[in-house]
Structure 1
């Protein structure tokens, strides 16, 4: 999702940055390790990942994703891996030992992506390189320099798109594409750019419609004129070339099989994605069985809620009732947004009882942009934003909205990620990175925590939470079923339809996402399970000394880490008597 998107980076000279191994041989292990990660991190920051979560700065450049750049990147991380192998963890401080585990995982993940040439597939069912670039137009523009950077970036679009198309052609030639079924209709995400009647109607012009008053009027006019020119001469032509490629070549010739095993070196590739997204060494069969076991346990809880509301009928009948009764759905997009805001504000009133340390950052609640909404998830969150999908309101049930909000806003993604970024005690590679097993596991844990926090007003809201838990447990079954066990798309859809309260539209978009993005769906439930198990262990060991605020602060203070690092930190939390990481903690 957010960590080291190797296909979206611009290369600096590795040889000019990384010192030779012998030059630091006499230094302490701690100093050598710091020298390695500081040099590589400096280099990494000269890369550019145009991403929906790229922050509040406006970059002046799009990355170099051509063959020479990919080769240089491969050399850089191969060299870093060799240097890390010379570090004896036993000679590091305890803090640096943890940092080494986390940093080594980052480098290994980046290197695996390059070795499998993932840059040749820079899209999946709901995200794409062109969509990520379009996200720049929705960022906050504050200064004249932001606008000038943006114009420079737009001018580089023909070169960048041509490189991406060349990479996609190389992937197509070796059968390394998303499955064709997951790409159908995705060309519609390009047409808002190509079909805009005037440059001023183009989505890339949006930042120029309202500009900061601190920029003089004459300068604003000049910047707008430049925007018109660059949209006409660079942005639109680049998107027209892309659209023709997608419609005439890429989508018609994409692979028809669904499974990762059918990709080049498919079994090893899928195992590498399991390692990346779960940080655990589990086989597809092991994960599939965990999913089946968890689905059975959650189904029993669902049946309990049905009894609570005196529903007469079986689970399929109850799910049909939830999917079709108008009482469970907002009548307008604004009503859905308003309810999400109410839920988020309700958590604010409870936060101090569950967390000792709160982020300074706040977030906005905004609708998913119309051009991507049909293929997008129900919501998505991160630093500064909680996106709520208001497209197709009959597929956005209110009984699931509390769980969705806790996951995507606070105390989920829009809470956890700023806490990591604001933690100056962490090295920068921990502050600004994201590991799906931890981040998605934490956000899913927040949904379950909502029961204890009193966030679910009705049994139906609690059922919505259970449906979301079931959805993530079912992903363990569905993802491994599709990619390792020969499941069909219809089989995967039926499994979600029979076990969750998700609307059919959302089931379709979700299954296509799992098909096109092998392994990512595994991170959620396995991550949550690690946190739930660690908490249970701490509560049992500490008894009355257990403090929930201290536990949560301990987990969040880590930043985004592999699950074994999280588990080891909770063991230390227990050994230290349940003491939290902040002095003022009770």
Structure 2
């Protein structure tokens, strides 16, 4: 069964005739996902909602035997799911089924293609992902003790990852060599630090809660430093030696995902995972070219509004080089981002009925990651802004970037989803086509909200739209059509106002992370299409706040589920999903 078979008719037809009560099929389905979620927690692949988030005293098992056992487990879950007829489920469980089955399918496919044998790409690696443990706040002595145990578990975890990397290298399943240059820097920063106190893993010990007695603080600091010295630094040094001597020099040369073992099927599996559609690479490539042409026409109009005399390439060169468009200090960039975020706050209640309780901080990307990190990232509680290489961080793009990563984008959408009550825990997982589609839609929404105050800022938004449409062309070009790295960079350079540094880091990310870049624009197209449909059907009854609340209340869902929910929204007369105050 494919997502497209879960049509609006199946999910939401005859809503008035669907009883709210559970059905026998509901009970079978609930038993499957409840059992699987408990197993996922035991595997250290998910957090227990009844426990403090991220509080673990050990890292997950990632050895080959454990990974194969996970493949078999999820394969069995799929078989059990396919024995349930979605039509036999109640309304809410039909939505849950569509979300859950897509999630399990993606997890199974990752195991089937043994993605765990490539735990590194141009964007991140297991040795950078692990730093999450050091960046979270600790509130008790027990949390520190658990953290110290986790640090001491790092050699085992790193050895298992090394074994996976060796297996991947042996069969040619690695990132392309060209994308790995410099990605050993975070390893070296830890391995070669003069003292444990100089590493990022000592961060929680630098400032400890006052409720921990001073003598216990001293003991915990000493134990933490010893764990870093005896376990963490040697583990990093072992991986550093391997990637420098073997892995990076021997990584594959071809760029295309289709050059990997069973590569054509692998790339299609990533398309399905990241777009939640069955579109082919050729179809997506064509969509990208068509959308780029539309955006280019808008860019030319905006260039004229700015009063620029000349052709588009000259305008792009002007934007990339004129000092007026770039912050002179990191603080200036951060404060500009904060000002834009507050501009949204002043307009939020005009566009959203439900506002999340969770606030977010604006934080610079850590310096050890910044050279290879994207321009920004957002999520619950944080908007990370990259202050590295300021001449690559255009101020005219900052409004669109801020809307995407902070509010109403990721740092707004994710908390809304997390605050929904009575939702199964697997619904907290992130579906890229929905989440990135919403964030890109948020950039467009900024035009209605009056966030863009100059033609240059409007052009920055359009450049970002072109950036995401270009991803449809570049990702499929690289992975299915034989494009070179230089060809991909040239396409981005000619069609967006991104700096050369951003273009290089972005293209390397697409090369080493097949399919993920396809999420954004296809997701935005689905949301825009659903909105236009609702506006046309509802006319004067259309309420933008009710529409946005309906989209966000769903949390991350496959695009066919979102489209079906808006069909129901229309059938219900465009009413808000929340009770009237």
TM bucket by the smaller chain?
A: over 0.9
Q: Is the 8 Å Cα contact of residues 50 and 62 (structure 1) preserved in structure 2?
A: no
The 2-side partners of 1:361 and 1:314 are apart by 45
Equivalences for residues 25-36 of structure 1 within 5 A: 28-36=24-32
Q: CA deviation at 1:580?
A: 1.3
Query: 2:430: which partner in 1?
Result: 434
Q: 2:179 is matched with which residue?
A: 182
**1:490: Cα distance to partner?**
0.3
Contact 2:40–2:46 under 8 Å retained in 1: no
Please give the alpha-carbon distance, in whole angstroms, between the structure 1 residues aligned to 2:87 and 2:516: 33
Partner of 2:418: 421
CA distance in 1, matches of 2:52, 2:334: 23
Shift of 1:55: 8.9
Give the drift of 1:500. 0.3
Q: Which residue of 2 aligns with 1:221?
A: 218
Contact 1:134-1:204 at 8 Å conserved across structures:
yes
**What is the CA distance between 1:98 and its match in structure 2?**
1.2
1:57–1:146 Cα contact (<8 Å) kept: no
2:523 is matched with which residue? 527
Q: Is 1:367 paired with 2:330?
A: no
In the alignment, the residues of structure 2 paired with residue 141 and residue 364 of structure 1 have an alpha-carbon distance, to the nearest angstrom, of: 18
Within-5 A mapping of 1:25-64:
28-49=24-45, 56-64=53-61
Alignment partner, residue 111 of structure 1? 108
Q: Where does residue 398 of structure 1 map in the other structure?
A: 395
Counterparts in 2 of 1:581 and 1:422: CA distance versus 1, 3 Å = same
- Displacement of 1:196: 1.0
**Residues in 1 aligned to 2:419 and 2:46: alpha-carbon distance in whole angstroms:** 21
**Cα distance in 2 between the residues matched to 1:50 and 1:509:** 30
- Find the aligned partners of 1:487 and 1:350 in 2 and give their Cα distance: 43
The residue aligned with 2:168 is 171
Provide Cα deviations, 1:453-503, integer angstroms capped at 9, x if missing partner.
111111111100000000000000000000000100000000000000000
**Aligned-pair CA distance for 1:583:** 1.1
| Contact residue 50 and residue 133 of structure 1 kept, 8 A | no
SS at match of 1:186: coil
Within 2, Cα distance between the matches of 1:163 and 1:497?
Answer: 40
What residue ranges of structure 1 are gaps of 5+ in the alignment? Answer: 1-26
Q: Which of 509, 523, 539 is the matching residue for 2:505?
A: 509
Pairing partner for 2:465 from 457, 469, 473: 469
Query: Do the aligned partners of 1:193 and 1:239 also contact (CA within 8 Å) in 2?
Result: yes
Pairing partner for 1:566 from 554, 559, 562: 562
- Give the aligned partner of residue 572 of structure 2: 576
Structure 1 ranges of 4+ moved more than 6 A: none
- The 3 A distance-change label for structure 1 pair 352 and 551 is same
Alignment of 1:270-289 (within 5 A): 270-289=267-286
**What SS does structure 2 have at the residue aligned with 1:167?**
helix
CA drift at 1:49? 4.8
Match of 1:380, SS state, is strand
Which of 510, 534, 537 does residue 533 from structure 2 map onto?
Answer: 537
For residue 90 of structure 1, the aligned residue among 83, 87, 90 is: 87
* Aligned-residue offset at 1:315: 0.3
Q: In structure 1, how many angstroms separate the alpha carbons of the residues matched to 2:229 and 2:376?
A: 33
2:156 match: 159
* Unmatched segments (≥5 aa) in structure 2: 1-22
Mean alpha-carbon deviation: is it higher for 200-209 or for 434-443? 200-209
C-alpha contact 2:282 2:476 (8 A) present in aligned 1: yes
- Residues 179-258 of structure 1 mapped to structure 2, 5 A cutoff: 179-258=176-255
State the secondary structure of the residue aligned to 2:130: helix
Distance 1:291 1:423 in 2: 34
Distance 1:425 1:63 in 2: 28
Give RMSD over aligned pairs.
1.3
Note if 1:494 corresponds to 2:521: no
Moved more, 42-51 or 107-116: 42-51
Q: Are the counterparts in 2 of residues 50 and 136 from structure 1 also a CA contact under 8 Å?
A: no
Q: Does 1:549 align with 2:540?
A: no
Conservation of the 8 A alpha-carbon contact between 1:364 and 1:386:
yes
The alpha carbon displacement at 1:182 in A equals 0.3
Distance 2:421 2:157 in 1: 34
Following TM superposition, by how much is the alpha carbon of 1:46 offset from its aligned partner in structure 2, in angstroms? 2.4
Preserved contact between residue 437 and residue 523 of structure 2 (Cα < 8 Å): yes
The answer to which of 97-106 and 464-473 deviates more is 97-106
SS at match of 1:381: strand
| Equivalenced residues, count | 556
Q: Offset at 1:341?
A: 0.7
Deviations 1:39-84 (A, max 9, x none): 1111112233599xx9953321111001221122112111111111
Instruction: Give the whole-Å Cα distance in 1 for the aligned partners of 2:44 and 2:344.
Output: 35
Q: Contact 2:467 / 2:496 at 8 angstroms: preserved in 1?
A: yes
> TM-score if structure 1 supplies the norm length?
0.94
Change (3 A) 1:56 1:318: farther
Partner of 1:356: 353
Inter-partner Cα distance in structure 2 for 1:367 and 1:297: 34
